[in-house]
Amino acid sequence: SNSSLESNLEGLAGVLEADLPNYKSKILRILCTVARLLPEKLTVYTTLVGLLNARNYNFAMIRQLKECLKVNMYNEAVHLVRFLSDLVNCHVIAAPSMVAMFENFVSVTQEEDVPQVRCDWYMFAFLSSLPWVGKELYEKKDAEMDRLLSQTESYLKRRQKIHVPMLQVWTADKPHPQEEVSELYYLDCLWSQIQKLKKDRWQERHILRPYLAFDSILCEALQHNLPPFTPPPHTEDSVYPMPRVIFRMFDYTDDPEGPVMPGSHSVERFVIEENLHCIIKSHWKERKTCAAQLLSYPGNNKIPLNYHIVEVIFAELFQLPSPPHIEVMYTTLLIELCKLQPGSLPQVLAQATEMLYMRLDTMNTTCVDRFINWFSHHLSNFQFRGSWEDWSDCLTQDLEKPKPKFVREVLEKCMRLSYHQRIIDIVPASFSVLSPANPVCIYKYGDESNRSLPGYTVALCLTIAIKNKASNDEIFSILKDVPNPNQDDDDDEGFTFNPLKIEVFVQTLLHLAAKSFSHSFSALAKFHEVFKTLAESDEGKLHVLRVVYEVWKNHPQMIAVLVDKMIRTQIVDCAAVANWIFSSELAHDFTRFYIWEILHSTIRKMNKHVLKIHKELEETKARLARQHKRRDSDDDDDDDDRSSDREDGPLEEQIERLQEKVESAQSEQKNLFLVIFQRFIMLLTEHLVRCETGGIDVFTPWYKSCIERLQQIFLQHHQIIQQYMVTLENLLFTAELDHHILAVFQQFCALQA
Amino acid sequence: AMAVSGTLSILRSDSYADLSQYRDQHFRGTRYDQERLLRKSCTLYVGNLSFYTTEEQIHELFGKSGDIKKVIMGLDKVKKTACGFCFVEYYARGDAENAMRYINGTRLDDRIIRTDWDAGFKEGRQYGRGRSGGQVRDEYRQDYDAGRGGYGKTVQCQ
């Protein structure tokens, strides 16, 4: 309660004041840290600072601010700025000096040749402090503030916005009837909120301001001026926060019985959302604490808190390019919240789910992925209880449409977390068309009726041999007899690409090892030599993948783990997987979720591999440097110069080898991305040409899915792809390309421009 | 100053990823060695599984916190069938920590499962240590658990 908070503050201030002379630096350090890391409680701590009237406090904070900006810690920098501005309310900092700092922030927008995201951040740091201090600053310096606000307006008008659609959860070509839920770029949203705040004469009623109770004491204190603050210049190492949009699901119509939700253009909405995001950021590792802190956010009876919490959590979960925290955290957090509020939160969550389902047609594919993962995992914690009948509208639609597709993917994921019969049991019979296939293996040589197939007898031989614990050599000798359908004259060595050999071996082995993942992994390990030999060529690799698919097409999870294992044991390489995914054999499954899970997992492995070797190289270089340093320091006994050179030798050799390894890995990585982009361009161009000549609408469900998958590649791996901009511009995304495809590239370029 | 420091320690708190009180009594080595291994381990012990839970289900659930290196199913020493526990090894410790934070204490096959740090798989540790071949906890328990063979072994023998 307010009065107990006030008396606590008074008591605490008294205690600290006694300590201050002795522990000043420690207390200042703690208060600085709190300002950076506990922004949701900032007004409590600014009041404390005011009561202490600690001198030199703001110097320490400015120094912290500079440090944060130098190391790209922008979240924390914003919190520090906000803390400083609230200190104006506590009469610790003089208003004019705060306005001067904001003038320096806004003047960043006049800098030339700097990324727009830099200007965006400084603008955000200024605007986002205004809910706290706008009133006070306007009262003391209205002319200056008016100037700042009009500079803000003209900046927002002239900045470019072409990248915004890439970040939206819902595509905008079918605008929502409710304007309340359109997704604005975060700065534009904040600007509309500040404009409204100004119109309301800066009256802000949501923020808890303990210092108001102590106004008479605080007024008497001597105010300090902030030291002048110049924003650190832009450098090559500066990495500014990614642009984002404000995701909204709910508005005032959504909780008819409870308190009214503040409007989307109200500053209250901004403050609530900021504070809830901050709570998650503070406590993400401790799910019970996080849930409790969210639910005890003040103002519970004046705002529909459960709705805000659910909205903020989904905003993070659906954030593009990536959520701030690992996806599974949000699932578990929502479960904790349901445990703490069993009578109210599950209903809000059900409402949210329904709302998201209704809007699937325009939902970004990446966000649909996350929705599928969340919903299936959530259901698995609640006995898969769902009112599937409510969604029977999807049964009448084409299976490729977003709604039936979503239900299919959810059911498939639910099956992975349980078992096939369970899923058949939980859905109504009418949903069987959307139910996943029974994940059994398909062995083409299984039946006697297949004995006319080429390779059938060899398959039988292999089966017996493997069951009798044959060695790799024995397998090779059995396979020697398999004719090569591609060649007229057999190569004696028999090690050139022979699709039939691959087919017979892989089909038989996978069939024998079908019992579990572990069985299959053991099989891959035991016959690694055979695999490596058969898959030596690029065509060999591609064919192995094809056969794996043929055997396990009913069990996408098995395909994924086998592909993962084969990459890790170098039976296939990443480029082969990419080519396989875009091959015509997989066209039927191209829009299925598991395909993209495999592709992104493949890219991630490639990225991790490059980082690992790079790290090894840096570590070895450091070892060499240390060795030199040691030698230089014992230079006095340098009678044996030759021996020290000899010591360097092996390390230097190692560094050279690692350098080569790094270069080759980086080149493989670049090649992977180029292959992927190339294949996308081919596929999309084919579709666009076909539509144009046939006079049909380009925007089919397949097209939406495909173009958003291309966007997803850019967004999810943007840091790495940035390195290839020149190649991409000159080689692939040239001006001759269809404008639909080029637009994706241009939007990406605009992201960090 | 203490009150404010207390707040800061809350921010650093990571109780789900901390070591539990449990120490494997069969571990060969000193307590110190064991704890050192636990603190850098990428392997988790997973308990309270149903006997029917498959490697595939475990892979799907635990894959949500990162790439899995290996799943080793716990087996009844006599029957060589699943007896309700397993080991999950990740490539990266951070992924195992996230499993401790977000998968521990949630449901798999409708059962609340429990995860704990493991010092590392060694051959032989995949077997239950109960007298009848399963896990010790299934020897003496009095309740009926359909997913774990019904009544405890001692009760069954009565």
Name the token pair of A489: 């004259």
Alpha-carbon span A624 to A614, nearest angstrom: 15
Confidence of residue A180 (pLDDT cuts 50, 70, 90): very low
Quick one: average pLDDT of A409-430? 96
Torsion of CA B135, B137, B140, B144, to 10 degrees: -100
Residue A261 lies in a domain: no
Cβ count within 10 A of residue B2:
8
Is the pLDDT at A176 greater than 50? The verdict is no
Report in angstroms the alpha-carbon separations of A670 from A565, A595, A676, A727.
22, 21, 10, 10
Report in angstroms the alpha-carbon separations of A460 from A449, A453, A464, A473, A534.
13, 12, 6, 17, 19
| Phi and psi, residue B74, nearest 5° | -80, 135
* Per-residue pLDDT, A15: 73
* Domain assignment of residue A329, given as a range: 268-380
* Per-residue pLDDT, A178: 43
Name the token pair of A257: 């019985």
Residue A366 lies in a domain: yes
Chosen from A517, A564, A603 to mutate, greatest number of chain B CBs within 10 A = A517
Residue A46 lies in a domain: yes
Contacts of B144 (CB under 8 A, 6+ apart): B150, B151
| CB within 8 Å: B5 and A30 | yes
Alpha-carbon span A455 to A572, nearest angstrom: 23
Name the token pair of A612: 């690992």
- The residue among A190, A219, A248 that closes a domain is A219
Candidate from A61-70, A726-735, B78-87 with smallest mean pLDDT: A61-70
Contacts of A721 (CB under 8 A, 6+ apart): A673, A713, A714, A728, A748
| CB within 8 Å: A27 and B7 | no
- Residues of B within 8 A of A38 (CB-CB) are 7, 11
Confidence of residue B146 (pLDDT cuts 50, 70, 90): very high
Closest CB from B13, B60, B101 relative to A417? B60
Enumerate the H helices of A220-326 as residue ranges. 267-283, 287-295, 305-317
| Phi and psi, residue B70, nearest 5° | -160, 145
Quick one: average pLDDT of A155-184? 73
Is the pLDDT at A383 greater than 60? The verdict is yes
Distance of CA A358 to the CA centre of its chain: 24
What three-state secondary structure class fits A493?
coil
What three-state secondary structure class fits A561?
helix
Give the pairing of strands B114-118 and B107-108.
unpaired
Quick one: average pLDDT of A723-742? 94
- Residues of B within 8 A of A287 (CB-CB) are 16, 101-102
Distance of CA A466 to the CA centre of its chain: 44
Distance of CA A641 to the CA centre of its chain: 53
Name the token pair of A38: 């506990």
Question: Is A212 in the same domain as A341?
Answer: no
| CB within 8 Å: A328 and B4 | no
Question: Cβ(B16)–Cβ(B104) under 8 Å?
Answer: yes
Confidence of residue A174 (pLDDT cuts 50, 70, 90): very low
Q: Does B157 touch chain A (CB under 8 A)?
A: no
Name the token pair of B91: 């490539």
Question: Is A554 in the same domain as A609?
Answer: no
Exposure string for A700-727, b = 16+ CB within 10 A, e = fewer: ebebbbbbbbbbbbbbbbeebbeebeee
| CB within 8 Å: A38 and B14 | no
Shortest CA distance from A384: residue in chain B: B110
* Per-residue pLDDT, A6: 78
pLDDT digit string, tens, across residues A640-690: 555 555 567 788 899 999 999 999 999 999 999 999 999 999 999 999 999
Domain count, chain A: 5
Closest CB from A12, A30, A561 relative to B59? A561
Alpha-carbon span A528 to A650, nearest angstrom: 32
Name the token pair of A687: 């579709």
Question: Is A167 in the same domain as A89?
Answer: yes
A356's enclosing H/E stretch is helix A345-358
| CB within 8 Å: A31 and B61 | no
Closest CB from B5, B101, B106 relative to A285? B101
| Average pLDDT of the residues of chain A | 90
Nearest CA to A545 out of A515, A487, A589, A492 is that of A589
Residue A9 lies in a domain: yes
pLDDT digit string, tens, across residues A456-486: 999 999 999 999 999 999 999 999 988 888 7
Enumerate the H helices of chain B as residue ranges. 2-12, 31-40, 55-62, 93-102, 137-140, 153-156
Question: Is A192 in the same domain as A58?
Answer: yes
| CB within 8 Å: B54 and A419 | yes
Contacts of A117 (CB under 8 A, 6+ apart): A240, A241, A242, A243, A752, A753
A40's enclosing H/E stretch is none
Cβ count within 10 A of residue A746:
14
Quick one: average pLDDT of A265-274? 93
Quick one: average pLDDT of A541-565? 98
Is the pLDDT at A330 greater than 60? The verdict is yes
- Residues of A within 8 A of B108 (CB-CB) are 380, 417
- What does the angle CA B89 – CA B90 – CA B93 come to, to the nearest 5 degrees? 115
Residue A244 lies in a domain: no
DSSP per-residue letters across A681-725:
HHHHHHHHHHHHHHT--S--HHHHHHHHHHHHHHHHTHHHHGGGH
Interface of B with A in 10-29 (CB under 8 A): 10-11, 13-17
Q: Does B145 touch chain A (CB under 8 A)?
A: no
Quick one: average pLDDT of A262-275? 92
- The terminus-to-terminus CA distance of chain A in angstroms comes to 47
Quick one: average pLDDT of A599-616? 96
Exposure string for A580-594, b = 16+ CB within 10 A, e = fewer: bbbeeebeeebbbbb
DSSP per-residue letters across A147-213:
HHHHHHHHHHHHS--TTHHHH-SB-TTS--S-GGG---BHHHHHHHHHHHHHHTTT---SS--GGGG
Alpha-carbon span A282 to A75, nearest angstrom: 12
Question: Is A10 in the same domain as A81?
Answer: yes
Question: Cβ(A578)–Cβ(A602) under 8 Å?
Answer: yes
pLDDT digit string, tens, across residues B95-139: 999 999 999 999 999 999 999 999 999 999 999 999 999 999 999
Nearest chain A CA: its distance from B66 CA (Å): 10
- The residue among A180, A196, A219 that closes a domain is A219
| CB within 8 Å: A285 and B103 | no
Question: Is A136 in the same domain as A285?
Answer: no
ipTM: 0.96
Enumerate the H helices of A427-527 as residue ranges. 456-467, 472-479, 499-512, 517-526
Alpha-carbon span A412 to A426, nearest angstrom: 13
Is the pLDDT at A492 greater than 60? The verdict is no
- Residues of B within 8 A of A285 (CB-CB) are 13-14, 16-17, 101
Residue A314 lies in a domain: yes
Question: Is A150 in the same domain as A38?
Answer: yes
Q: Does B6 touch chain A (CB under 8 A)?
A: no
| Percent share of chain A, pLDDT over 90 | 69
Alpha-carbon span A732 to A745, nearest angstrom: 10
Q: Which amino acid is at A464?
A: I
Nearest CA to A215 out of A84, A96, A50 is that of A50
Shortest CA distance from B72: residue in chain A: A518
Alpha-carbon span A658 to A650, nearest angstrom: 12
Q: Cis (ω within 30 of 0) for the bond into A321?
A: yes
Nearest CA to A407 out of A355, A374, A372, A378 is that of A372
| CB within 8 Å: A417 and B57 | yes
Question: Is A341 in the same domain as A467?
Answer: no
| CB within 8 Å: B101 and A30 | no
Is the pLDDT at A445 greater than 80? The verdict is yes
Residue A736 lies in a domain: yes
Question: Is A215 in the same domain as A277?
Answer: no
Candidate from A543-547, A643-647, A689-693 with smallest mean pLDDT: A643-647
Nearest chain B CA: its distance from A28 CA (Å): 10
DSSP state of A729: I
- Residues of B within 8 A of A517 (CB-CB) are 55-56, 59, 71
| CB within 8 Å: A383 and B110 | yes
Question: Is A187 in the same domain as A41?
Answer: yes
Q: Which residues of A touch B (CB under 8 A)?
A: 12, 15-16, 19, 23, 26-27, 30-31, 33-34, 37-38, 282, 285-287, 289, 326-329, 331-332, 335, 373, 377, 380-381, 383, 413, 416-419, 516-518, 557-558, 561, 564, 601, 605
Q: Which amino acid is at A346?
A: P
Shortest CA distance from B11: residue in chain A: A282
- Residues of A within 8 A of B110 (CB-CB) are 383
| CB within 8 Å: A287 and B16 | yes
- The residue among A361, A380, A399 that closes a domain is A380
Confidence of residue A533 (pLDDT cuts 50, 70, 90): very high
B118's enclosing H/E stretch is strand B114-118
Quick one: average pLDDT of B129-150? 95
Question: Cβ(A442)–Cβ(A551) under 8 Å?
Answer: yes
| Average pLDDT of the residues of chain B | 94
Closest CB from B4, B60, B106 relative to A30? B4
Alpha-carbon span A49 to A57, nearest angstrom: 8
| CB within 8 Å: B54 and A516 | yes
Question: Cβ(A317)–Cβ(A372) under 8 Å?
Answer: no
* Per-residue pLDDT, A751: 85
Question: Is A376 in the same domain as A413?
Answer: no
Residue A229 lies in a domain: no
Confidence of residue A386 (pLDDT cuts 50, 70, 90): confident
Size of interface A-B (CB pairs under 8 A): 92
Question: Is A299 in the same domain as A166?
Answer: no
* Per-residue pLDDT, B1: 47
What domains lie within chain B, and their CATH numbers? 29-123 (3.30.70.330)
Q: Which amino acid is at B59?
A: H
- Residues of A within 8 A of B49 (CB-CB) are none
- Residue A609, domain CATH: 1.25.40.180
Looking up tokens 């503070």, which residue turns up? A282
Give the pairing of strands B43-47 and B82-90.
antiparallel
Confidence of residue A639 (pLDDT cuts 50, 70, 90): low
